[in-house]
Amino acid sequence: MPRYFIEVQYQGTAFHGSQIQGEQITVQYELNKALSKFLRHPVETLGASRTDEGVHALCNFYHIDLEEVLDKKVLYNLNALLPSSLSVKNIYTLSNPSANARFEATSRQYRYRIYTEKNPFLFQRALLFPYAIDRAILDQTASLLLSYNDFESFSKKNAQSKTFQCTLYKSEWQQVGDELHYVVWGNRFLRGMVRALVGTQLRVARGKYSFDEFQSIIESKDCSKADFSVPGFGLYLEQINYPEGLLSPLP
């Protein structure tokens, strides 16, 4: 039975997260519904990365096992069935037929977008943050995170993670036009981790915590000390990477 990887993108504010939650409108629910309608039998997908309510994705993956052989024409048909807030970017065959969309991923990259002056075109696309911040401190906190591998302080309670070990390859703040972005790339991320990293760093940049207190929060392994309050709609799952040669687009 062939296994396919399905690459999607979506506007997170339209969904109650990405993962299936009964009959609630989630990304996976809508994708399963469209696939089932097109193939005329029930199907279930498995996701690569879970995103919370409001979080957007420029790239996320699901895998599915089908008896049918698909070709590229299926992209048009699926997108015609999906809501406007969700689209299938591509479908891939695999060089390893047992590859798992979640566990085969080698790294993921997220971006959190912030702007400082009211802009209706950025509403629920980025976080309005009209406060004075110390940009130099943000650069220091982002750099410090690269020195650590245990991020238990930035994982939501009851996340059921077997380990809090993560390796970050990039952690930096970028000025992009009028926006300030936090970009983080790593081998894996914990539930709520990126939002907690952003929220806690912003508190340091506003003088609510000192740099030494930020370091203590990391080392405390206590999530009650981190700030998870920044909203999901500023966050984008930007990229998921797989081993070279694993994915081949449909002919």
Cα–Cα distance measured from residue 48 to residue 191, given in angstroms and rounded to the nearest whole number: 13
* pLDDT (0 to 100) of residue 16: 97
Residue 89 lies in a domain: yes
Residue 43 lies in a domain: yes
Cβ neighbours around 23 below 10 Å, total: 7
116 and 218 co-located in one domain: yes
Look-up: residue for tokens 């008896």?
A: 67
112 and 234 co-located in one domain: yes
187 and 131 co-located in one domain: yes
Number of domains forming the structure of the chain: 2
**For residue 52, what is the DSSP state?**
-
- Per residue of the chain (251 residues), what is the pLDDT tens digit? 899 999 999 999 999 999 999 989 999 999 999 999 999 999 999 999 999 999 999 999 999 999 999 999 999 999 999 999 999 999 999 999 999 999 999 999 999 999 999 999 999 999 999 999 999 999 999 999 999 999 999 999 877 778 999 999 999 999 999 999 999 999 999 999 999 999 999 999 999 999 999 999 999 999 999 999 999 999 999 999 999 999 999 98
Residue 250 lies in a domain: no
Residue 205 lies in a domain: yes
Residue 117: give its domain's CATH number: 3.30.70.660
Residue 95: give its domain's CATH number: 3.30.70.580
202 and 137 co-located in one domain: yes
Range of the domain at 152: 107-238
Domain boundary at 104, 133, 164, which?
104
129 and 62 co-located in one domain: no
CA angle 133–137–142, rounded 5-degree value: 115
31 and 48 co-located in one domain: yes
Residue 244 lies in a domain: no
Give the phi and the psi of residue 155 in degrees, each rounded to 5: -115, 135
Residue 131 lies in a domain: yes
66 and 120 co-located in one domain: no
187 and 165 co-located in one domain: yes
For 112-130, write each residue's pLDDT tens digit: 999 999 999 999 999 999 9
Query: Model-level pTM?
Result: 0.95
Task: For 200-221, give the DSSP string.
Answer: HHHHHHTTSS-HHHHHHHHHHT
* pLDDT (0 to 100) of residue 66: 95
Residue 23 lies in a domain: yes
115 and 233 co-located in one domain: yes
Residue 128 lies in a domain: yes
CA angle 27–28–30, rounded 5-degree value: 70
* pLDDT (0 to 100) of residue 158: 75
Cα–Cα distance measured from residue 82 to residue 33, given in angstroms and rounded to the nearest whole number: 9
Cα–Cα distance measured from residue 165 to residue 208, given in angstroms and rounded to the nearest whole number: 27
Active site residues: 52
**For residue 10, what is the DSSP state?**
E
136 and 170 co-located in one domain: yes
62 and 90 co-located in one domain: yes
Domain boundary at 86, 104, 122, which?
104
Domain boundary at 45, 78, 104, which?
104
169 and 54 co-located in one domain: no
